[in-house]
Amino acid sequence: MSPQQRSRRQFLIESVAGLGGAWVAANYAGIIEAQAYVQRAASTGQPIKLAFFTEAQAAEVDAMAAQIIPSDSTPGAREAHVLNFIDRALTTFEKDEQQAYVKGLQDLDAQTKKLFPSATRFSALSSDQQIQVLTAMEKTPFFALVRTHTVTGFFASPIHGGNYNKVGWKLVNYDDSLNHKPPFGYYDAQTR
Amino acid sequence: MTQFTPSTDVDFVIIGSGAAGGIMAKQLATNGFKVVVLEQGGWGKYGKEHEYTKDEWLNDNPGPDDRLMSDPSRQRNTFRRNDKEKAVSGSHSYGCVVGGGTVTYGGSSWRHLPWEFNELSHVGPIAGSGLADWPITYEELEPYYTQAEWEMGISGKRVNSPFVAPMSKDYPVPPVPIKASGALFQVAAAKLGLSVVNGPIAIISKPYMGRSACVNCGMCSGFGCHVKARSSSAVTMIPLAIASGNCEVRVNSYVREISTDASGRVTGVTYFDKDKKEIFQKAKAVVLSANAGESARLLLMSKSPRFPQGLANSSGVVGRYLMLGNTVNASGLMDHPLNDYKGVVTGAGIVDFVPSDPKRGFYGGGRMTARGFDTPISYGLRGLHPDSPRWGAGYKKALMEEANHKFTVTCFVTQQPLETNRVDLDPDVKDEWGLPALRITSTSHPDDFKNMEFFRQKSIEVLEAAGAKRIWAGPPNDSRGGAHNRGTCRMGNDPKTSVVNRFHRAHDVPNLFVVDGSNLVTGGRNHPTMTIQALAFRAADNIIRSAKRGTLNNL
């Protein structure tokens, strides 16, 4: 991994403002194009086509994301279309992480077969089995990367492909009106 | 906008357009001087502020023309704890756009207290510390604090407190809402016998001077303000400077040298334009307002036979007494939602521990602020209690339970100026322009660590008194860089121990002025901007006065 790639990952994980800007500068046209595509797809109701993953890879990433933020009585990564976010990110802001995914998914497959020799693929495991595989991998840089991307996709503006119907924001009661009046919360309301 | 050719001998080149540079440009240009401002960054959304993004992901990944901060992969810098270490790649970053750091800062606008200008006299010498008295007093600076507050537009409430600087005039704009965290400060303070005050802040709570009021959008610190409520240099000073017809702002201008003639006077500056083409801009005088790190680096890069240690550095003090700025954070979870993501970052402060107290057994003080700031991505990635699960059903449960319930106390604390803490030129690493990278060497004084631990404990007490549960607070964290960097070109009466005189003129160079956070002799309680702004108004006043006496040519 080049120092620039390391710094980009560090940026994602720690949000040290500003790292990786040179890459963004060089690829900005593609980033704008990708956003326009997501907007078009959303407005026409068309399903978003995969830009980077194969269908098989997409199923594995989708299964990982769905374990990181599971769906239960409330929406999770799957309902938020986090897969779309990650897929688009890997052709835009996160282009230099493509190989990390290709390699990481191979590792996921290896870990799956190590724990469950008869398994065909991670996404075909039961939920409990998937959790066992990811628990064995949770200290790896690949897991950290997918976690970062999943959470980011869940909470980023829907224009980037995830957070579909703002399900991420709704889950944490985030009001995106960008225009608020006091009192903001319980305690300042008490003192008024 | 008026334009000057590089061969025009303009009255002033100002390097930097931030807190100090913006004020210098406005004051000098509106007083009839021809001014060229050279800004490393771009225009940002100058004049079309409504286009500032509130998209957190985009704001973290700005396009080439949308950057608001320097990029450590281009404006490279390195860091080491002490001289024995080899410096490693650093992440130091600073405001890099027309308006500088004021375009994105939280906006805290605390004045230094009167005794913060002569703290050495108050507390006595401290072993290993470069604590020194300023060459100016609070009384000398007070009118300029008032001028800065009224010309920039500061929201706040004047209070009569031994822990807050006395003011000759009220703030021009009423305080911003106190937020739920501020209300909890009041609860805790009532129990603990402490005093809460509204934080003075450079974000207008009511329309002021043609700008509209804050809408409490919550995408605040780190974002440009889309309603022009943040009183940055870019929406206050720079437009007035340009409107005077005497000021040209040149963006993407990366200065590499302040040039001098054989007599030791500054003749102009050499910079790279956007295409990295070198341009020499002639000037009768130069005002350096590039921030503590960059101003010192530029002086050190401006070596010549006459100035072999770098310009204005016969003392060897340029770059030294660096104060990067330390903060202490503690958080806890409340029973009810705070929704502290709404509104400005900081709404209130506890000020009782601003002064140092010998009874504590060490030197140090600080200001406790109620500071909630969780944008959604940031919250999801690193906003949860450190013991909460990082993924899975437990993570999702924590996301929902902790959302908007976090109460965070951030303390802005003293950091002593040490001769050994400094910026200099990295001997190996170059920036994208082929110039020596900024190298930071810094380890805080032992008292600073004791002080951080003191504030950590005080924060926990406040959180407990407010009813917070599951409280957490990291260990004292010694800063490695950032926008609050100060020191490096300290002000003083003695040319052997300081870089500029009491009017910001370089001791060694008659027509060079350094006006920014680098001049701060001591760092206050790590809330530098208002003092930088007051110093700039004062510096400009004195430059204008001497120039109007017809002495600009032989300044």
B334 touches chain A (CB under 8 A): yes
Per-residue pLDDT band at A48 (split at 50, 70, 90): confident
Q: Which residues from B are below 8 Å from A160, CB to CB?
A: 57
Q: Do A20 and B73 touch (CB under 8 A)?
A: yes
CB contacts < 8 A, A to B, total 190
What was the pLDDT predicted at B550? 73
Collapse the DSSP code of B122 into the 3-class scheme (helix H, G, I; strand E, B; otherwise coil) and give the result: helix
Collapse the DSSP code of A86 into the 3-class scheme (helix H, G, I; strand E, B; otherwise coil) and give the result: helix
Q: Which domains does chain B have, with CATH numbers?
A: 1-75+95-105+232-321+485-555 (3.50.50.60), 133-217+326-414+446-478 (no CATH)
Sheet arrangement for strand B77-80: B88-89, B77-80, B436-441, B422-430
Q: Are strands B247-250 and B35-38 parallel, antiparallel or unpaired?
A: parallel
A interface mutation test: which of B51, B53, B73 has the most A CBs within 10 A?
B73
Report how far residue B19's alpha carbon sits from residue B101's, in angstroms, rounded to the nearest whole number. 7
Q: What is the mean pLDDT of residues A77-95?
A: 94
| CB-nearest partner of B63 from A24, A134, A188 | A24
Cis, bond preceding B114 (omega within 30 deg of 0): no
What was the pLDDT predicted at A12? 36
Q: Tokens at residue A145, please?
A: 């990367």
Alpha helices in B390-528 (DSSP H): 392-402, 446-466
Each residue's pLDDT tens digit, B350-360: 999 999 999 99
B400 touches chain A (CB under 8 A): yes
Q: Which residues from B are below 8 Å from A3, CB to CB?
A: 89
Exposed / middle / buried, residue B475 (Cβ in 10 Å: 0-12, 13-18, 19+): exposed
Q: Is the pLDDT of residue A36 over 80?
A: no
> DSSP for B91-112?
----B-BTTGGGGTS--B-PPP
Q: Tokens at residue B266, please?
A: 């500054």
Torsion of the alpha carbons at B463, B466, B467 and B468, rounded to the nearest 10: -30
Collapse the DSSP code of B351 into the 3-class scheme (helix H, G, I; strand E, B; otherwise coil) and give the result: coil
* Vertex B94 angle, CA A11 and A27, to 5°: 50
Collapse the DSSP code of B399 into the 3-class scheme (helix H, G, I; strand E, B; otherwise coil) and give the result: helix
A interface mutation test: which of B216, B252, B339, B382 has the most A CBs within 10 A?
B339
What was the pLDDT predicted at B346? 87
Q: B263: how many CB neighbours lie within 10 A of its CB?
A: 8
Q: What is the mean pLDDT of residues B240-259?
A: 98
Distance between start and end Cα atoms, chain A: 55
Each residue's pLDDT tens digit, B23-72: 999 999 999 999 999 999 999 999 999 999 999 999 998 887 889 999 99
Q: What is the mean pLDDT of residues B519-525?
A: 97
Q: Do B56 and A169 touch (CB under 8 A)?
A: no
Q: Tokens at residue B60, please?
A: 């973290």
| CB-nearest partner of B404 from A21, A185, A189 | A185
Q: Is the pLDDT of residue A20 over 90?
A: no
Q: For chain A, what are the domain ranges?
A: 3-190
List the single range of B105-119, B366-380, B509-523 with lowest mean pLDDT. Answer: B366-380
CA distance B53 to chain A (A): 11
What was the pLDDT predicted at A26? 57
Q: Which residues from B are below 8 Å from A184, CB to CB?
A: 177, 179-180, 216, 338-340, 342-343
Q: What is the mean pLDDT of residues B379-405?
A: 97
What was the pLDDT predicted at B48? 97
Report how far residue B540's alpha carbon sits from residue B218's, in angstroms, rounded to the nearest whole number. 35
Q: Which residues from A are below 8 Å from B52, CB to CB?
A: none
Q: Do A171 and B400 touch (CB under 8 A)?
A: yes
List the single range of B63-77, B185-199, B312-326, B380-394 with lowest mean pLDDT. Answer: B63-77
Q: Do B180 and A68 touch (CB under 8 A)?
A: no
Which chain B residue is nearest to residue A26, measuring alpha carbons?
B64
What was the pLDDT predicted at A17? 32
Q: Is the pLDDT of residue A13 over 50?
A: no
* Vertex B510 angle, CA B505 and B511, to 5°: 85
Share of chain B above pLDDT 90, in %: 95
Each residue's pLDDT tens digit, B450-471: 999 999 999 999 999 999 999 9
Per-residue pLDDT band at B372 (split at 50, 70, 90): confident
Q: Do B378 and A15 touch (CB under 8 A)?
A: yes
Report how far residue B58's alpha carbon sits from residue B44's, in angstroms, rounded to the nearest whole number. 14
| CB-nearest partner of A168 from B71, B376, B391 | B376
Exposed / middle / buried, residue B10 (Cβ in 10 Å: 0-12, 13-18, 19+): buried
Give yes or no for a contact between B456 and B332, defined as CB atoms under 8 angstroms apart: no
Q: Which residues from B are below 8 Å from A22, CB to CB?
A: 71, 73-74, 432
B interface mutation test: which of A187, A190, A191, A192 has the most B CBs within 10 A?
A187
Compute and round to an integer the Cα radius of gyration of chain B.
Answer: 23
Q: A144: how many CB neighbours lie within 10 A of its CB?
A: 16
DSSP letter at B212 equals: P
Q: Which residues from B are below 8 Å from A30, CB to CB?
A: none
Chain B residues 216-245 within an 8 A CB cutoff of chain A = 216-219, 222
Chain B residues 128-187 within an 8 A CB cutoff of chain A = 177-184, 186-187
What was the pLDDT predicted at A44? 73
Per-residue pLDDT band at B499 (split at 50, 70, 90): very high
Which chain B residue is nearest to residue A191, measuring alpha carbons?
B183
Q: B84: how many CB neighbours lie within 10 A of its CB?
A: 6
Q: Is the pLDDT of residue B75 over 90?
A: yes
Q: Do A155 and B376 touch (CB under 8 A)?
A: yes
Helix (H) or strand (E) holding A154: helix A141-155
